[in-house]
Amino acid sequence: MPRMRAVEAAVRVLEREGVSVAFGVPGAAINPLYAALRARGTIRHILARHVEGASHMADGYTRARAGNIGVCIGTSGPAGTDMITGLYTAQADSVPILCITGQAPRAKLYKEDFQAVDIESIARSVTKWSVTVREPAQVPMVFQQAFHVMRSGRPGPVLIDLPIDVQMAEIEFDDSTYARLPAYKPAATQAQAEHALAMLNAAARPLIVAGGGIINADACDLLVEFAELTGVPVVPTLMGWGAIPDDHPLMAGMVGLQTSHRYGNATFLDSDFVLGIGNRWANRHTGSIEVYTRGRTFVHVDIEPTQIGRVFGPDFGIVSDARAALEQFIAAARALKDAGTLKDRAAWAAECLHRKNVMLRRSHFDDVPLKPQRVYQEMNEVFGHDTCYVTTIGLSQIAGAQFLRVYRPRHWINCGQAGPLGWTMPAALGVRAADPQRRIVALSGDYDFQFMIEELAVGAQHKLPYLHVVVNNSYLGLIRQAQRGFQMDFEVSLAFDNVNAPPDTDAVRGYGVDHVAVAEGLGCKAVRVRSPNEFKDAFARAEAMMAEHHVPVVLEFIVERVTNISMGTEVDSINEFEEILCLDPNLSIRTRSQDMGGIEPAPKVPQPAR
């Protein structure tokens, strides 16, 4: 039996499990693993500037392609605690990533040794499995079990903590006969599918709510097939956006309090039956359960048994992987169609499509400073069906979801539940590392952009080009809008007169941080846009810069400081702060538009001249 250090065995298992890229920051307690990575030379390593950034890179890498599992590596102590936000984000959105940390020698554990934190315990609540390996001979099988855990049932992250003496110890290991452990995924039965389809068939106005579990299961083709077979319109959740193309006639719009379409909410309020597949009934999607469920029957399908009934009790629940469930649903629907008993949904689908065509929000504004809605309109005109958007949280994400269009699975890469500021940039780098060819457009507000701005240097160093759209109002915009309910505008302005902004240059005075200068200082390129007539040229310049230099390019839009984006507290009570467009004046709209009141604070610095 071959003898080797435990860390070499770990690297061989990573290879056998399909790992070809890792993100991380070396340090004293994890250097043995780095030595093994260097000696093997089979796994590309991308050096992050912050260990939290490495964890988000691994997250983006996983989300980019079906079957990917991102790996991030850090030393002992603060490296592990820095990864906690990344682990929480991955756990919340059912994303498998593997975090590997170094640790003090076993003899020094629990003795307050330098950087000897109990990361196993700290990470336990935000992982599927967190383990400190205390026996060198267990290293290969712990890594094997980690991949099994990440892939089985509801996907999620794992943390493996390796004391340095465990890493250095010699063990016997032969990887020539190594095999992956088969993942466990529950599957719907024929009887369950037939019962669910009977309930759907009895409804007058049914909808399918398509969650991120469909994308995780690589089952979007089956979703579209099932929708077309039954004629039932589909409402994707924020995590499921792209599971059915936005231009498909059965794509009925997103529903919710923030990242929703007016036509999506109106269609949902007119429905009487909802089949949820691979979704969580997240509160930003539902609002209050009383309003969301009133007058509707629900079937809920999820891979995780404890999700069934967690938010509200469905009328029927099925524990199943989304692909397995959709295969059974298609078979049951075909049986109904062959028997001549499958209802014709043409009239209901046409009604939903009509709402989609006429219940729109205004996006064309010629204002200077720019209105953010115009930015998204221009993005729709410039970027094609192949564009992959990466974003996290804030008014930029909310407005992006309301106005942008997504046509393919894994082309809306968004951390839905945790929403940590700073996630966008490293996640976009992870997506680029996973896919060298895809057009990637990251979307940030100025604060999200500033949170982990140092990671731009990673894109420059490792030649990971992508376009980063920054919608700059020099505000914590979403928090400012939320503070309206408290009649205040307190500690949410990022504006100041930058003493380094010469008045005779294109730097924008009064907006604080000069993002163009920072991006260029980190080895990237940047373009600033201040008026509508600059849009087309700016997009073309940015694309040319990426093609020439192979680095991230920042495209910053200077927008008006105060813009309230449509949102509300209930799906039937969304506040539309801008002019409402309805191309059919005879259409009955069951959503209420009102302003909750509150103050509109004067900007703390002068607006640029209009």
Residue 111 has pLDDT above 60, yes or no: yes
The one-letter amino acid at 557: F
Distances (CA, A) of 214 to 74, 229, 399: 32, 17, 24
Tokens of 247: 């231009």
> In a 10 Å sphere around its CB, with 0-12 CB exposed, 13-18 middle and 19+ buried, how is residue 569 labelled?
middle
Q: For the chain, count helices (H), then strands (E).
A: 24, 23
Tokens of 516: 């163009």
Residue 598 has pLDDT above 90, yes or no: no
Q: Note the maximum CA span of the chain.
A: 79
Q: What is the pLDDT of residues 125-135, one digit of tens each?
A: 999 999 999 99
Task: For residue 61, give the 3-state DSSP assignment.
Answer: helix
Contact yes or no for 243/210 (Cβ under 8 A): yes
Least confident interval from 404-413, 433-442, 482-491, 512-521: 482-491
Contacts of 352 (CB under 8 A, 6+ apart): 233, 250, 252, 263, 267
Q: Give the percent of the chain with pLDDT over 70.
A: 93
More confident of the two residues 364 and 606: 364
Q: What is the pLDDT of residue 580?
A: 61
Contact yes or no for 31/193 (Cβ under 8 A): no
Tokens of 509: 């005075």
Contact yes or no for 252/264 (Cβ under 8 A): yes
Closest residue by Cα to residue 566 from 554, 580, 552: 580
**Location of structure tokens 């991380």:** 24
More confident of the two residues 498 and 609: 498
Closest residue by Cα to residue 247 from 467, 404, 419: 404
Domains of the chain: 3-177 (3.40.50.970), 190-359 (3.40.50.1220), 366-558 (3.40.50.970)
Average pLDDT, integer, range 480-486: 85
Report phi then psi at 54, rounded to 5.
Answer: -60, -40
Residues forming the active site: 25, 51, 421, 476, 479
Residue 315 — pLDDT band, cuts 50, 70, 90?
Answer: very high
* Alpha carbons 165 and 331: distance in angstroms, whole number: 55
Q: Give the percent of the chain with pLDDT over 90.
A: 77
pTM for the full predicted model = 0.91
Contact yes or no for 402/442 (Cβ under 8 A): no
